[in-house]
Amino acid sequence: MSTCVAEPKKLKPGITQRNPTPSEEKRLVDVLTVTIEKYCPEVVQAVKSILDTGADRLLGLHQDAFAAGYHDDEFLLLGLAIKYANLRGIDVMILHRRNGETPL
């Protein structure tokens, strides 16, 4: 059990919200897509490269590339990048090594 005195963020998990209509879902996916295209063009290019080359359908993302500063927008972009790739049939692996660490 954590001894942290911080309060958890107030979130609205998807299970407590109604499912979007097909038109709402299309709009949500469109917003997700343009957001990733604007803020994470490297992710878009990596997904495109995987799809174009027929390479293994696995994209590695280093967690510090998104959330090094623990900012909400960084966490949001990490989640959006994962969803963006998954919607295109790409699995995502989150890498966690610190700079300078070598894999075992």
In a domain, 71, yes or no: yes
Residue 84's pLDDT is what? Answer: 98
- Number of domains within the chain: 1
What is the value of pTM for the model shown? 0.81
Assess if residue 39 is contained within a domain: yes
Q: Which two tokens stand for residue 58?
A: 């696995």
Structural domain range at position 42: 22-95
Burial zone of 8 (CB within 10 Å; 0-12 exposed, 13-18 middle, 19+ buried): exposed
Does some domain include residue 6?
Answer: no
Residues 6 or more apart whose Cβ sits within 8 Å of residue 60: 92, 93, 94, 95
Judged by DSSP in three states, 94 sits in strand
Q: Is residue 7 part of a domain?
A: no
The residue behind tokens 């994962």 is: 82
* Residue 12 domain flag: no
* pLDDT tens column, 19-64: 899 999 999 999 999 999 999 999 999 999 999 998 789 999 998 8
Residue 41 lies in a domain: yes
Is 2 contained in some domain? no
